[in-house]
Amino acid sequence: MRKSQLRIVFMGTPEFAVGTLKALITNKYRVVGVVTQPDKPVGRHGSVLQPSAVKQYAQKKGIPVLQPEKMKDPDFLQQLKKWNANLQVVVAFRMLPEVVWSMPKYGTFNVHAALLPQYRGAAPINWAIINGEKKTGVTTFFLDKDIDTGRIICQSPYRIYRTFNVETVYNALMKRGADLCLLTIEKILSSNGHPESIPQEQLITANEELHQAPKIFKETCEIDWNNLSAKQVYDFVRGLSPVPVAWTTLQDEKGRESVLKIYKVEVSGLSSHVKPGTILVENKKLYIAAKNGELVELLEVQMAGKKKMSAKDFLNGCKNITESRCVRADNSV
């Protein structure tokens, strides 16, 4: 099939997916329709509906958009079929039923921000950094009945440097994913819909631990000072920065609690014979004790209702901070 004959339906929701959609349009591929999540209620009372980043871009380009509540809805399936796509491209969307992913002649492939079979799931970039990985990447694979388990078409590795946070890696993989999508489509066209692909099982070595990448919730982002070393806290913070952001609960001497968001820390190399969660100030630097008394230096923080600031500015406004301690949601130290 020639490029001019290819009809693509694109499925995605966040800004990460826009990079790939934009690459398809820029490279003159015919995107006949876009499927994205329904508009999300925002605002204090949820009275304002916010369209997804993908919908906003598609509308600017005059591309038809469908926003099904349920992927098996008969009306949605009928409209999707009318687009008569040869191929579907999915980026950061949701699990699709077989009736959807098997609809096009050339099938459906996903652009996933990890080197599968590692980090299957909704938050692969976050978890790779949280786990201290030095390498990640992007994978394109054909969808099948399970989540992120289909045959791999292409992969592109990417090095994670120690100072990189989620934003850095996110932006890099958004561009790399767009490029890999274009390469994948070229392979599909040149092979008449049958590019060489590899079952993921062939890439799993004996006794290899497969890391998962489940969806991240607010509770996931709470720092466990008792069970994380200073290095693990460092990776945890950068794996959630700048969003959704790691946090801890400060409890003052009167038992009052407040949430402290933590955007940037450093491994100090220092330790103290104090309990995890203890707050220390030395030489105008702010530390919190992690597992085994290892000290984590806080560099950038934000109190609830306040703006983000340096730890130095935070200390200037919190003279009695050492009288507080960090506690878990269950009030354990």
pTM of the model: 0.95
Q: Is residue 228 part of a domain?
A: yes
pLDDT at 299: 98
Q: Could you list the residue range(s) of the whole structural domain that residue 97 is in?
A: 3-203
Q: Is residue 213 part of a domain?
A: no
Do residue 183 and residue 323 come from a single domain?
Answer: no
CA dihedral 228, 232, 234, 237 (to 10 degrees): -80
Q: Is residue 208 part of a domain?
A: no
Q: Is residue 34 part of a domain?
A: yes
293: phi then psi, degrees, rounded to nearest 5: 75, 10
In tens digits, the chain (333 residues) has pLDDT values of 889 999 999 999 999 999 999 999 999 999 999 999 999 988 776 778 999 999 999 999 999 999 999 999 999 999 999 999 999 999 999 999 999 999 999 999 999 999 999 999 999 999 999 999 999 999 999 999 999 999 999 999 999 999 999 999 999 999 999 999 999 999 999 999 999 999 999 999 888 899 999 999 999 999 999 999 999 999 999 999 999 999 999 999 999 999 999 999 999 999 999 999 999 999 999 999 999 999 999 999 999 889 999 999 999 998 789 999 999 855 455
Do residue 178 and residue 290 come from a single domain?
Answer: no
Query: Any bridge partners for residue 266, and if so which?
Result: 297
Do residue 190 and residue 248 come from a single domain?
Answer: no
- Tokens 């003279």 belong to 319
Do residue 40 and residue 179 come from a single domain?
Answer: yes
Do residue 153 and residue 15 come from a single domain?
Answer: yes
Structure tokens at 256: 């009052």
Do residue 268 and residue 149 come from a single domain?
Answer: no
Q: Is residue 333 part of a domain?
A: no
CA distance 149 to 143: 7
- Please, which residues have CB within 8 angstroms of residue 272's CB and are 6 or more apart in sequence? 278, 280, 289, 293, 295
Q: Pick from 174, 203, 232: which residue ends a domain?
A: 203
Q: Is residue 79 part of a domain?
A: yes
Q: Is 263 left (phi over 0), alpha (psi -120 to 50) or beta?
A: alpha
Number of domains within the chain: 2
Do residue 171 and residue 282 come from a single domain?
Answer: no
Q: How many CA atoms lie within 13 A of 110 on its CB side?
A: 27
pLDDT at 332: 53
Do residue 199 and residue 230 come from a single domain?
Answer: no
Do residue 180 and residue 309 come from a single domain?
Answer: no
Q: Is residue 322 part of a domain?
A: yes
- Tokens 């819909």 belong to 193
Q: Pick from 203, 236, 264: which residue ends a domain?
A: 203
Q: Pick from 203, 232, 266: which residue ends a domain?
A: 203
